[in-house]
Structure 1
Amino acid sequence: MQKRNHDHLSISDALKQFVETNKLEKGLDKVNVANAWEKLMGNGITNYTNSVTLERETLYVSLSSSVLREELSYGKQKIINMLNEELGKEIIKKLILR
């Protein structure tokens, strides 16, 4: 059993410490990326989005519209930069539209 730490921590610091201790950051990043995609792309694009998955710094987005996929492929780097900025750290290095 771990010793109790008698220092007072804010809730945000305690949660950060819990996430780091239990190595949950990668899982949270996957959820945060999917939420950021929905927020930044809006309803028009998310209606055609089947899935958003993050694997080893690569974001895979499955789209049901080939026309939309072609249009988004022209701005891949801009989308990567917007998502990383929204997340506050550089998680995504590559974007693959399926």
Structure 2
Amino acid sequence: MAKRQGEHSKLGDVLKDFIRSNRLEKGLDKVSVKDAWHSVLGDAISKYTTDVKLDRDTLYVQLSSSVLREELSYGREKIIRLLNAELEKDLIKKLILR
């Protein structure tokens, strides 16, 4: 059982401690990346996105449109910057569009 840090603690702080102590950050990052992809790139691109997967520092995105894949490949660096800004951490280093 965890130690009490004081009489009163903020719920957000307690949850952050729980996530850190149980090593749940990587799993939550994988879910956060999917949400960030859809919010940053919008509904038009989300329609053609079939899968978003984070493996270490590489984001794999499966697209159903080859034309869209080619267009997005020109802006890889900008997409990585926008996603990392949305996630508020430098999580993605490489983007692979399939």
Which residue in the other structure is 1:11 paired with?
A: 11
What's the CA shift string for 1:32-57, capped at 9, x where partnerless? Answer: 00000000111110000000000010
What is the identity, as a one-letter code, of the residue corresponding to 2:36?
A
Which residue in the other structure is 1:58 paired with?
A: 58
SS in 2 for 1:85: helix
Could you tell me how far apart the structure 1 residues matched to 2:3 and 2:92 are?
A: 37
The alpha-carbon deviation at position 28 of structure 1 amounts to 0.4
What's the CA shift string for 1:36-91, capped at 9, x where partnerless? Answer: 00001111100000000000100000000000000000000000000000000000
Decide whether aligned partners of structure 1 residues 25 and 69 sit closer, same or farther in structure 2, where only a CA change above 3 A counts.
Answer: same
Alignment of 1:38-49 (within 5 A): 38-49=38-49
Could you tell me how far apart the structure 1 residues matched to 2:37 and 2:14 are?
A: 27
The alpha-carbon deviation at position 6 of structure 1 amounts to 5.0
The alpha-carbon deviation at position 9 of structure 1 amounts to 1.3
Q: TM-score, normalised by structure 1?
A: 0.96
Decide whether aligned partners of structure 1 residues 45 and 3 sit closer, same or farther in structure 2, where only a CA change above 3 A counts.
Answer: closer
Where does structure 1 lack aligned partners over 5 or more consecutive residues? Answer: none
Runs (4+) off by over 3 Å: none
The alpha-carbon deviation at position 4 of structure 1 amounts to 3.7
1:97 aligns with 2:82: no
What is the identity, as a one-letter code, of the residue corresponding to 2:39?
K
Where does structure 2 lack aligned partners over 5 or more consecutive residues? Answer: none
